[in-house]
Structure 1
Amino acid sequence: MKLKLQLPLSILIYHRVLAGPDRLFPEQVDARRVEQHMQLVHRWFRVMPLTEAVRRLAERSLPPRAACITFVDGYADSAEVALPILRRHGVNATFFVASGFLDGGCMWNDAVIEAVRNAPGDRIDLGRAGFGILDIGCPVRRRAVIDMLIAALKYLPPEERIERVKRMAQRFTPTMLSSDQLIALHRAGMEIGAHTISHPILASISNAAARAEIAGGRARLQDIIQAEVKMFAYPNGRPGHDFEERHAAMLRSQGFAGAVTTAWGAARAGSDPFYLPRFTPWDRGAGRFLLRMARNLLLPPA
């Protein structure tokens, strides 16, 4: 009897795709870098829809060099910047969308970034938010303040976090997809995946709240695109820290086909479909990109 090879599956993760470089976040990918990535992935890998790849992973029928592309959160630039790039290269991707931010929303971390980026002068007074007066006298200091604030706020109870963000960012610029853009992604052949309603860290909320976030987010997306949503991305995504087995069990009971994490590595035939690893090769240059992709295949299972 001939044994089937246990070929690995690479799953790439992207968040925003900026139109151009951002001097405060030079590591953030922009259109030019994603264009290069998609050229390389299309040339060297077999890019597949995520749901199909998960099925074939279980069947041990993956082709060599199988890969999937995912975008997370539901930024408007997914439709405005990423989609044209994907279509130019004939590449399919899955977009995981937090449904509560559709149609004019802004994620809390982006509100923090905007508040610090646009603050006039060399200091910012965040006393009302519990952080005092902070030095933002140069781009390096502004970035350091942003990183500190996001780290300090990330694991607070959601209600407290939002209240403190409102005290530092009373106005914000909408950054997320509209319902029409979501429909356009779906009609272009892209897969839509669930990412909760409000992007809470599931391990920090009650079981009842987690179930409602998972089910409600999926239901809103299905209502908009009029199609089944089969895949899920855990907010923040670190196994055992941001989500636990109880949350994977909720997804199974609700009929999802699988879920992606932010643990690095490649999925294999024995991988649990609700603990699929993902990563992004941030390296500049084709050689470094491909080397990082190759190294990722060698990482031990998370």
Structure 2
Amino acid sequence: MNPIDQEFDSESEVEEGEMTFLEHLEELRWHIVRAIGSIVVFAILAFIYIHEIYDGVILAPSKTSFWTYRMMCELSKKTGFTDLCIEKLNFTLQSREMAGQFTTALTSSLMIGLLFAFPYAFWEVWRFIMPGLKMSERRAARGAVFYVTALFMMGVLFGYYIVSPLAINFLANFQLDPSIVNEFDITSYISTLATLTLGCALTFQMPIVAFVLSKVGVLTPKFMREYRRHALVVILIVAAVITPSPDVYSQILVAIPLVLLYEVSIWVSGYVQRMRLKEEQALMKSDGYED
């Protein structure tokens, strides 16, 4: 360890030594308060513009004019697979409770607030965790907020533009009998949309999970390569669950990003292993020099 790293480590130890347990709790409390405050601010803004948000964002996947459906029709024309083009969504939305639309507006605003405040909220949590890390761990985790946020947003976009439309199309056009009309409650629609979107956002955190598990020594790139075929089977099963449609093209469309995330996770695990080996070699050289 060079003198600069020693200086920073000693400073952090002094700072931690000066703070009592109650002071740590107080600091954590303010980080949580600021994180929740950011969620509340974005939720209020979302509630103010809730009509525009519903018309242009939340209800968009329920209309055939949605971007994904139009692109699938274009792809259908170019490839000749007519099943890809979605020309009709056989369902209507309704609210069955007196205060149903108002409570739905509140819950939707809260979810939107959480979505947009996520980068800042995670940054607040990270600010509390980071001082407890060693200098080498800080260097290894540099850019954590950016990567976590980027993967989260990529997962949200993937869930909103790919997975949700495919699932909504299948569920809307599936009928046990033509006499049964699909009239979905708005809360059921919102729940499906939110679950699929946020589920994809969490799934896209796979490289981050691989980094943490590799850092603590639980996961290795060798293990992930050996079980690549098993992982592929699991990914295909997950893709089949996420997209209830029996259409194999939809499942492949969902599986491809998951496979890429797995390959990226292997690279991340290998990077952590290489960094650990370098640190061990540097430590051995340092010990040899001292001897």
TM band (smaller chain): under 0.3
Structure having the higher strand fraction is: 1
After TM superposition, the score normalised by the length of structure 2 is 0.27
TM-score by length of 1: 0.27
Which has the greater radius of gyration?
2
Bigger helix share:
2
